[in-house]
Structure 1
């Protein structure tokens, strides 16, 4: 495996297990807005894409109704969702070891910057992160654009070896567009079919497998 000098991580489903908190907050938001409940497998589709994309495509919202839903969701998540969110077992240790080996670590997420930073601090990960690129406050946060900004900020013109690690097609496709290797993780919220269809450079079925890839 290449000796990657810079490693970009997605946040939800890659570093933190945020699905339960996201689903809980969405259910509470839908209840308050009088929207019909959805099955668990449908709700899990909200984990990964930008809020504006997920809410418009999966709930059919637009305009002021879309903005209201995004604002209410964020309120519910900040109040309640964080309580059922955690870092994946082994992630703090992995980031610590990568930093000790001189790796530059970045996080690229559709979550808005303050929320993403709060998550990283809450779970003891912030101390290992060199760079954070969050999404737009309006819910616009296409991963291709965010990773492009991160690459511009973190990588030199010589483009030292770098890799993107993520659990959804948004992460892996963004890496392809950026001309970067990528690792698809199967312990997050993307299906094996989704990950395989993106043709990642490597696949990790667990945090342990991810550690083996990045540390050897």
Structure 2
């Protein structure tokens, strides 16, 4: 069946995961501990982040979790409210460096030129997500931008995928969900969508393949894949 819409994850899909979130975790931990690197390293273990190597463990809550889930992992270390902690996480996320997986403007413009509806469903908060997309100059090219706090549910539940399909008035089976994590692909499958895995996050081809119709090196290969579906 012809693909009429594409729904993208953000981190690890539109933007390279490591370049953005390793810098974010380092900044957040130092801010929360007032620059105490020893304490920051200890706290980092609870979100699966190694301060010495500045790398994430593969099961880190940051990879596919929501800011609220990260707050839960951090809260026992700090005497502040969950709202205050989440504000710090989102503030740092807004200014975290964004490295595009591929040049986003020409790719998204080319996809729009094909008549495709485009959306973003992220487990990040909506505010920093919009900031990142605006910074890349592509926010206006998306018909739908949903974060974990947008009222559309969170992945791996199908709800944000179904919300996108309703928004653009396209049947689920005519949508492809594009993502770098199992949360993305499981959400797409649960919604009855095609699924495209990409290798710009931390998951391997072997991990993504059971849940993906295809695994690509990056989103720049989507146009060639679409041509094969015609």
Q: TM-score range by the shorter chain?
A: 0.7 to 0.9
Aligned-partner SS, 1:106: strand
Q: 5+ unaligned residues in a row in structure 1: which ranges?
A: none
Deviation digits for residues 32-83 of structure 1, max 9, x if unmatched? 33343242343673133212234435x57599554443221222233x41xx
Deviation digits for residues 133-177 of structure 1, max 9, x if unmatched? 222179x84442322322332234x55611100001110010111
Q: Under a length normalisation based on structure 1, what TM-score does the superposition of the two structures give?
A: 0.81
Point out the more displaced range, 40-49 or 185-194: 40-49
Taking a change above 3 Å as real, the CA distance of residues 61 and 195 of structure 1, as seen in their structure-2 partners, is farther
Over the aligned positions, Cα root-mean-square deviation in angstroms equals 2.9
Contact conserved, 2:123 with 2:154, CA < 8 A, in 1?
yes
Q: Under a length normalisation based on structure 2, what TM-score does the superposition of the two structures give?
A: 0.76
Taking a change above 3 Å as real, the CA distance of residues 19 and 97 of structure 1, as seen in their structure-2 partners, is same
Question: In the alignment, is residue 51 of structure 1 matched against residue 67 of structure 2?
Answer: yes
Shift of 1:85: 1.0
Question: In the alignment, is residue 151 of structure 1 matched against residue 165 of structure 2?
Answer: yes
Question: In the alignment, is residue 187 of structure 1 matched against residue 200 of structure 2?
Answer: yes
> Which of residues 114, 121, 131 in structure 2 aligns to 1:118?
131
> Which of residues 161, 186, 195 in structure 1 aligns to 2:174?
161
Q: 5+ unaligned residues in a row in structure 2: which ranges?
A: 34-38, 42-48
Taking a change above 3 Å as real, the CA distance of residues 148 and 110 of structure 1, as seen in their structure-2 partners, is same
Partner of 2:16: 17
Aligned mates of 1:146, 1:61 — CA distance in 2 = 30
Aligned mates of 1:211, 1:28 — CA distance in 2 = 36
> Which of residues 186, 192, 214 in structure 2 aligns to 1:173?
186
Contact conserved, 2:104 with 2:136, CA < 8 A, in 1?
no
Taking a change above 3 Å as real, the CA distance of residues 65 and 33 of structure 1, as seen in their structure-2 partners, is farther
Deviation digits for residues 89-109 of structure 1, max 9, x if unmatched? 243322111111111111111
Deviation digits for residues 112-140 of structure 1, max 9, x if unmatched? 223222211211212321221222179x8
Contact conserved, 2:119 with 2:144, CA < 8 A, in 1?
yes
Partner of 1:26: 25
Partner of 1:92: 105
Contact conserved, 2:4 with 2:117, CA < 8 A, in 1?
yes
Partner of 1:36: 40
Q: How many residues align?
A: 208
